[in-house]
Homo-oligomer: A and B are copies of this chain.
Amino acid sequence: MDVTNIENQRVKVQEKINNIFDDRQGLSGCCPIKDILGRFGDKWSIYTILMLGREEKLRFNELKGLISGISQRMLTVTLRSLEEDGLVTRTVYPEIPPRVEYRLTELGQGLLLQLLQLADWAKLHIQEILDARQRYAQQ
């Protein structure tokens, strides 16, 4: 890639960024990235989405078993927030003991694909980041 191409790419990036900020008249409105990352960007939401992406449908305690370290409360809170955003559906079967099934919606599956793209980038560069942290820690 020559100098002109790099410059072209830079201009495209700037346009995109301007677009993001234009859309929310002067920073006080809602920024879609912030809004979305602010919701699913925590570790429990990510693990939950990944697990539901792998297994298609899962019950509450199956999820709890798969996501090691999560407490019942945090799983409830996480699932409710994903449900609220339309990323996950919750189906209750009124039996005793109760049975509840969770699965990703189409929207949730779309988000999963984005997450996996990010994961590819993360895997490629995680070592660079860890190295940077090491250097920073050493003064």
Contacts and interface: CB of A to CB of B under 8 A. Distances in A.
Interface stretch (A12-20, A71-79, A92-100): A12-20
Contacts of A13: 53, 112-113, 116
Contact of A126 (B14, B36, B69): B36
Instruction: Report how many copies the assembly holds.
Output: 2
A128 interface: yes
A interface secondary structure, majority: helix
A131 B36 CA distance: 14
A28 B13 CA distance: 37
Contacts of A135: 86
Contacts of A131: 86
Nearest to A68: B27
Interface size class, chain A: 35 or more
A91 to B, nearest CB: 15
Nearest to A137: B84
A121 B110 contact: yes
Interface string A101-112: 000000100111
21 contacts: A13-B116, A17-B53, A20-B119, A21-B50, A26-B68, A28-B68, A31-B47, A32-B119, A33-B46, A33-B118, A33-B119, A36-B126, A37-B42, A38-B41, A84-B132, A84-B136, A85-B133, A86-B132, A107-B128, A110-B121, A111-B125
